[in-house]
Structure 1
Amino acid sequence: MTTTAPGPTTTASMAIVPPSRVQRIGADLARSVLPVLLALITSGLIMLAMGTNPLDFFAGVWTYGITGDNWQRSLVLMAPLLIVALGLIVAFRGQLWNLGYNGQYLLGALVASGGGPVLFAVMPAWLATLIIFIAAVALGAVWSLVPAILKARYGTNEIITSLVMSFIAIGVVNLAIKGPLKDPNTPMPQTRVIPDDQLLPYIPGTEIHIGFIIALLLAVLAQFVLSRTSFGLRLDVFGASPKAARHVGINSTWMVILIFALSSGIIAFAGAIDILGQYSYQRANWNPAYGAAILPFVFLARLSPVGSIPLVAFYAVLATGGTLATQQAGLNVDFLLVIVGLILIFMTITEYIGDRRRLGQSYLPPGLRRTLTRPFARDGRTTS
């Protein structure tokens, strides 16, 4: 009997069949939705233990977050949340931890609240708005230079430096509002109020400002740039391995600076949008802390700008309706942060149980994930 030595066909037949596209989408969807469901169930059990009816709370979230005209308030809140999420996605795709989001957001808000009353008084509203947006993005980008350069040149942990720069930014913003930018006509430490007719216009027939449309367009644009352009490819390669990126000609120093500048500038832009969209002024010691709240949903979206839209919408409804629902249920408003924390915990548990050997890889962009998990030949090249 003649036997045939194992060849490429035999080896291929013995290989593990990769999951189909439908299976991958289903697995990613399950890992995105399951942590949220488990967090809601667990938070309901906590409320029961505290003597509160969870059904009343969740009914309140629905009532105050969606019914009537409340859905419009949720979409208004969604605008800055989505833009902050996009800024975080840019940094995380490059495997950089930009945790200075609070300071960057407040700096962008300060540009709008402090510069708005001056600019709107001397030039057309559209031109003043454009200048404010450009200045906010520029200030956010410049503020990120310290952690970016320290990371790029000396390998300093960007988590620490970005947090320190955030604390400094918060202090600078408060000093500016209590000092040169304070409204002299009010005893409260706040900036002057921008007239309503100078704020961002509403979408016709609604009370939703056009910042919501801008946020959606930015998400679509970011999705295209990150998945269909050479910059997106370089960003993913750099995020996977800075050493490999240097071998293919990517300047790691400038890449770190560029990623930080884009991330911080986008987050600062969210602050300007929020002031010109709904607040019209800024008070000292005010900090909505959008970044910390939206952080889990960025990872649940698998760092996808478009994929983050429904998850950010979910949190916008939870935050809008939950503020009144917690009061109605006799809970502290900080209970919403408990729900966000539970989502983060269950996200970690689900990811660990789902695939222990490739922990975290499901959050990578699909193309990059396939490259990293593709088997290697003996000469070091990936096999098809």
Structure 2
Amino acid sequence: MKTETSSALVQGFVRSVVPVLLALIVSGLIMLAMGASPLDFFAGVWRYGITGSNWQRSLALMSPLLIVAIGIIVAFRGQLWNLGYNGQYLLGAVVASGLGPILYAVMPAFLATIIVFVVAVLAGAVWSLIPAILKARYGTNEIITSLVMSFIAIGVVNLLIKGVFKDPGVTTPQTTVIPEDQLLPYIPGTEIHIGFLIAIALAIVAQIVLSRTSFGLRIDIFGASPKAARHVGLNSTWMVVLLFAISSGLIAFAGSVDILGQFTYQRADWDPRYGDAVMPLVFLARFRPVAAIPFVAFYAVLATGGTLAAQQAGLNVDFLFVIVGLILLFMTITEYIGNRRALGQSYVPAGLRRTVLQPFTRTSERTSA
């Protein structure tokens, strides 16, 4: 038993931490080739992302990143590729930035905030219905449909900001700035808004639901084999629609938290692309919400400190996405080297792999023999 535990820990380290380390090393070599100093860059990441009060800025950024990661995990646990996260995030953000000032003017801030959150979640969930129904009823590839819906959402958001929600007092197309006293309150003694606590609570709740409840088991069974799920009485159509709605609703909720937590308004053509950044992190976390917390914290520090560090090192800010891409690359390489014959199975929870995947593997082996 101890040997199995040690082996599992080693495999977890290799497949989760090693890709990050390799990505940092190779990104450093790329900086050298570009004439920049990797030591200055990483020192700047530490200085601007952690030291002094900068760690509070990193934790504030961590809030929407973690909620987006949870939303992606929910869909991926059901083997559904919800890649419409950028548009869903912006829909939630525009609900907060456009609808928020209207509500705050006529009702108490607490009640207005709750309404904004509910409407944001509903907007994200409703926007996911088209790719979900097409997937459930006709087997349409949800990668394509969710991406298309994301592009449409981005266009709709820009139209709203330039039209209905535009602040008439400024020439730049943006929404009205929300007064500071109507934003999410700070954690006492810090400059971190309570969105951080909400994100951590959501991660814990999602972890419990996915790993300790019958609903989580249903998601894992459906993700492992929709046909097997139908045989045990699960409604595949309902599962697809529900998982898409939860995933998209959470991602839209992250957008509203971000606006009410730190941005206070939204400009046209603004897109932080949080989903692109956290995508490799949810794989490194093996689709476990709590395990995603340290990886998201790592990226939050990298993004917070890396923005100024990149500028001082003479690098484009988009170099951060190069690091994310390298993480994804090395994650794929280590996964392939570690388990060529069962590529991807390490992402499936161990208990589910034993109860669901092994029977199919044995059947395949008997057939080939």
- TM tier relative to shorter chain: over 0.9
Partners of 1:201 and 1:177 in 2: how far apart?
25
Cα distance, 1:24 vs structure 2:
1.2
The residue type equivalent to 1:122 in the other structure is: V
| 8 A Cα contact 2:224 2:357, kept in partner | no
> Quick one: structure 1 residues 364 and 19, their matched pair in 2 at CA, closer, same or farther if it must change by over 3 Å?
farther
Partner residue in 1 for 2:182 = 198
Aligned ranges 1:299-378 → 2 under 5 Å: 299-374=283-358
> Quick one: structure 1 residues 29 and 372, their matched pair in 2 at CA, closer, same or farther if it must change by over 3 Å?
farther
Is 1:127 aligned to residue 108 of structure 2? Answer: no
Partner residue in 2 for 1:281 = 265
Partners of 1:21 and 1:223 in 2: how far apart?
21
The residue type equivalent to 1:114 in the other structure is: G
> Quick one: structure 1 residues 359 and 378, their matched pair in 2 at CA, closer, same or farther if it must change by over 3 Å?
closer
Partner residue in 2 for 1:8 = none
Aligned ranges 1:24-173 → 2 under 5 Å: 24-173=8-157
Cα distance, 1:26 vs structure 2:
2.6
Segments of 5+ residues of structure 2 without an aligned counterpart are 365-369
Partners of 1:114 and 1:321 in 2: how far apart?
30
Partner residue in 1 for 2:274 = 290
| 8 A Cα contact 2:137 2:237, kept in partner | yes
Cα distance, 1:30 vs structure 2:
2.0
Aligned ranges 1:179-218 → 2 under 5 Å: 179-218=163-202
> Quick one: structure 1 residues 184 and 25, their matched pair in 2 at CA, closer, same or farther if it must change by over 3 Å?
same
Number of residue pairs matched by the alignment? 364
Partner residue in 1 for 2:252 = 268
Deviations 1:53-80 (A, max 9, x none): 1111100000000000100000000000
Cα distance, 1:373 vs structure 2:
4.9
User: What is the TM-score with the length of structure 1 in the denominator?
Assistant: 0.92
- Which portions of structure 1, spanning 4 or more consecutive aligned residues, are displaced by more than 6 angstroms? 376-380
Partner residue in 1 for 2:216 = 232
Partners of 2:326 and 2:362 in 1: how far apart?
44
Segments of 5+ residues of structure 1 without an aligned counterpart are 1-16
Cα distance, 1:377 vs structure 2:
11
1:220 to 204, 207, 212: 204
Partners of 2:45 and 2:363 in 1: how far apart?
57
User: What is the TM-score with the length of structure 2 in the denominator?
Assistant: 0.96
Question: Which one has the largest radius of gyration?
Answer: 1
Is 1:175 aligned to residue 175 of structure 2? Answer: no
Partner residue in 2 for 1:241 = 225
SS of the aligned residue for 1:23 comes to: helix
Deviations 1:330-352 (A, max 9, x none): 11111111110000000000000
SS of the aligned residue for 2:146 comes to: helix
The residue type equivalent to 1:53 in the other structure is: S
Deviations 1:84-105 (A, max 9, x none): 0000000000000000000000
| 8 A Cα contact 1:28 1:362, kept in partner | no
Deviations 1:134-154 (A, max 9, x none): 110011000000000000000
Cα distance, 1:379 vs structure 2:
9.3
> Quick one: structure 1 residues 377 and 327, their matched pair in 2 at CA, closer, same or farther if it must change by over 3 Å?
closer
Partner residue in 2 for 1:9 = none
Alignment RMSD, CA only?
A: 1.6
Deviations 1:239-258 (A, max 9, x none): 00000000000000000000
Cα distance, 1:354 vs structure 2:
0.5
Give 1 or 2: higher helix fraction.
Answer: 2
Deviations 1:352-384 (A, max 9, x none): 00110111111112221222454679899xxxx
| 8 A Cα contact 2:48 2:54, kept in partner | yes
Partners of 1:211 and 1:360 in 2: how far apart?
33
